[in-house]
Amino acid sequence: MDLLKTLVDKGLRRELPTRDEALAVLATSDDELLDVVAAAGRVRRQWFGRRVKLNYLVNLKSGLCPEDCSYCSQRLGSKAEILKYTWLGKDEAVAAAGAGLAGGAKRVCLVASGRGPTDRDVDRVSQTIEAIKEANEGVEVCACLGLLSGDQAERLRTAGADAYNHNLNTSEATYGDITTTHTYADRVSTVQQAQAAGLSACSGLIAGMGESDEDLVDVVFSLRELDPDSVPVNFLIPFEGTPLAKEWNLTPQRALRILAMVRFVCPDVEVRLAGGREVHLRSMQPLALHLVNSIFLGDYLTSEGQAGKADLEMIADAGFEVEGSGTTTLPEHRAGALAAAGGCGSHGGGSCAPCGDAAEPAAEETSGAADVRTDLVNVRRRGAGTDLAPNA
C-alpha cells in the first residue's frame, strides 16, 4: 500500500504527513487494519523500541468543577454519581502516588478539577510535589490543574514539577460545541505558558465525541504545531449524567486507526493511550501497544480501569517491556532540546529531577459502533478519596 510506505518513510525522517494522508489513514478499511498497525508500529519502534512507559493518576480534588465541558463527569451540572471531595492532604497524596510507583509507574500525574488553580492551590500542590520527590527518587511528576498563568507555571517548576498537562481535546472549529466557559485559545495559551517555564508539555485529545475525521486531523495537526513532548489520546467515556452519555460511536478498529494517525503525525512524541481504552478497545488493547509507547496504570480520575496486574501482564504477553526509571523516554534529539531549554532532567539533562482525500466515516463503523457497553463504564470507588486500596 503506497500510502503506508510513504507514511513510514516520513515517520522515520520525522517529516509531517499531509492532511490528506492523515485523513486517508482514518478512511482505511478493516481489511487493511493490520497493515496500518504494522506500518505505524515501525515508526513507534524506531523512536521508542519496545518500551512502554507507565503513568499513574492521582485525583487531588474530585468533582465540584465550575466549567461545563460536556465530556466530563466532574463538570458543572453533572449528574454522574462520582466521588466528590475537596483537596487530599499531602500525606494522602503521597501515599496514593506511592501505590502507583510501587506498581511500576514512572510518572505520577497530579490532577485537580476546576477552571484553574489559585495561588494557594499552587502552594498546596507544590508542597505535594516536593514531598513525592523526597519520598521517591527519580520519579517524574506532572501537574494538571487547569488554566495556568506564567507565574504559576514557574512556581510549579521550582517545586520540582517535570511536566504540565492541558489537553486541546478537539478541533478549534468545534471547541465551542463542547465547552462554553473557556476557549480553545485559553488552552493553547496554558500549554505555551508551561513550555515557557521549562516544563515538559503534555497535551492531547479526546476522540469519540461525535467529531468528524477532519476535526480529528485538525486537532492532531494543531498539537504537532504546539510540539508537546507527550500526547495523550483519550476515548470518550460516556458517563450517565453527562451531555455526551449517548455518544457510543467508536469501534475498536476505529480507535486503532486514530492511534495510528496520531503516531504518523507525531512520530517521535510520547503517545499515551489514556482514558477509555478498556471501554472502546476492549480485547484489542494489546494491538494498541504497537502504536503507543505510554499508558496509564490502573484507574483514571473518576472511572475504574483494567487491573494494574492485568496491565503488566498485557505488556509482557504482547512482547513489550516496562520502561525503567533510569531510561530516558524521549529520543535523544527531543530530550536534548528540552534539556537545553532548561527542561526536565529526566529527559536527559537539565536542572530538575527525573513528559488521501477526506472521507465520511465508513457506514459499517457508524452503525457497528452502536454496541452500547454501559457495563464497561465503572465509577471509581477505590483509591484516592476513599478508604479502599487503590488499583495499581
Q: Examine the residue annotation and report whether 142 is marked as an active-site residue of this protein.
A: yes
**The three-state (H, E, C) secondary structure of the chain, written as one string:** CHHHHHHHHHHHCCCCCCHHHHHHHHCCCHHHHHHHHHHHHHHHHHHHCCEEEEEEEEEEEECCCCCCCCCCCCCCCCCCCCCCECCCCHHHHHHHHHHHHHCCCCEEEEEECCCCCCHHHHHHHHHHHHHHHHHCCCCEEEEECCCCCHHHHHHHHHHCCCEEECCCECCHHHHHHHCCCCCHHHHHHHHHHHHHCCCEEECCEEECCCCCHHHHHHHHHHHHHHCCCEEEEEECCCCCCCCCCCCCCCCHHHHHHHHHHHHHHCCCCEEEECCCHHHHCHHHHHHHCCCCCEEECCCCCCECCCCHHHHHHHHHHCCCEECCCCCCCCCHHHHHHHHHCCCCHHHCCCCCCCCCCCCCCCHHHHHHCCCCCHHHCCECCCCCCCCCCCCC
Q: Which of 254, 272, 277, 334 is catalytic?
A: 272
Would you call 72 a catalytic residue per the annotation?
yes
- List 44, 69, 266, 355, catalytic entry: 69
Which residue out of 109, 344, 352, 355 is catalytically annotated? 109
Please state, as a whole number, how many other Cβ atoms lie within 10 Å of the Cβ of residue 271. 27
Known catalytic residue at 69 = yes
Catalytic residue among 72, 266, 352, 355: 72
Active-site residue (options: 44, 107, 124, 142) = 142
Residue 344 catalytic?
no
Is residue 355 marked as binding? no
144 is in an annotated binding site: no
Active-site annotation holder among 144, 202, 266, 344: 202
382 is in an annotated binding site: no
352 assigned binding-site residue: no
Residue 202 annotated among the catalytic residues of the structure: yes
Q: Find out whether 266 is annotated in a ligand binding site.
A: no
Q: Which are the catalytic amino acids? A: 65, 69, 72, 109, 142, 202, 272
Q: Please state the residue numbers annotated as binding site.
A: 65, 69, 72, 109, 142, 202, 272
* Binding region for [4Fe-4S] cluster: 65, 69, 72
Residue ranges of the binding site for [2Fe-2S] cluster: 109, 142, 202, 272
